[in-house]
Amino acid sequence: MTYEQVLTYWREKSIISDADLAEALQKQSISFSFHSGNMENPHFTPEVFREVFEHETVTSYTGDLRTLYEMHNAKHAYQQFLSAFGEGRALDENLILRFHKLLTKNTYDSRRYELGERPGTYKQHDYVTGKHDVGAAPEDAAEEMRELLYELKEAPPEKALTVAAFFHVKFENIHPFANGNGRCGRLAMNYYLVSQNHPPITIHEEDRKAYFESLEAWDVSQDLEPLKTFLREQCEKTWSRAD
């Protein structure tokens, strides 16, 4: 499907409740969460992840405990995603902090924990990301996030993809948390999209190189076009696989 066909396909579903959204995402919910988690943790396996997502239990798991926590966390964050949509919540600071807490619960290492870092709270120390070591100073992270969310409020729904791309590059550039920024940023971006009657997008882990390059284009020259183009292509790929 072309991007325009995907938009039509999605909007014809007339999604207004969490039940509607769950039904629309029935074939994609596991894929969204799996690819996002696997982007930073390659130890996710499709079979185990599906077992966790569908049954919340696993059999014969021999991997590390942190990975198992991350897979369970992805399921719980997705449930919050549906619940928040059903409540008609806008993407705001409290929801982002909630997403982050659910995604990173029980996964912070001892060093971060000793430094006072906690799931669901902004970073207390200087953590950066990418080739160019970008990231807001810890004392500025909360204010920069609030400014970003304020900018989203007046954006027109017909510009949803552009606004989502802008939100995502800014979020990752701010790097507001000690860990889990990528997973939280992708989930929050998709929540913004569905709140604007736009289909959510799987960022496929096999396309990670192009994804990170499009984020770096913003870090270097504030060029949003690479991520907009990438998201458009990923949207087509996501929903062409839906059938």
CA atoms of 132 and 205, how far apart (whole Å): 22
* Domain of 73, in residue numbers: 15-240
CA atoms within 13 Å, Cβ hemisphere of 112: 19
CA atoms of 185 and 221, how far apart (whole Å): 20
Residue 161's nearest CA partner among 234, 99, 93 is: 234
**Residue 84 falls within a domain, yes or no?**
yes
**Residue 6 falls within a domain, yes or no?**
no
Q: Region 36-57: what's the mean pLDDT?
A: 90
pLDDT score of 105 more than 60? yes
* CATH number (domain holding residue 158): 1.10.3290.10
pLDDT on residue 15 = 97
pLDDT on residue 242 = 65
Instruction: Please tell me the total count of domains within the chain.
Output: 1
CA atoms of 195 and 126, how far apart (whole Å): 32
pLDDT score of 6 more than 70? yes
pTM over 0.75: yes
**Residue 4 falls within a domain, yes or no?**
no
Question: 100: which residues sit within 8 A by CB, 6+ positions away?
Answer: 119, 120, 177, 180, 184
pLDDT on residue 183 = 97
pLDDT on residue 185 = 98
pLDDT on residue 153 = 87
**Residue 122 falls within a domain, yes or no?**
yes
pLDDT on residue 243 = 54
Q: How far is CA 120 from CA 72, 87, 125, 195, 237, in A?
A: 16, 21, 15, 22, 32
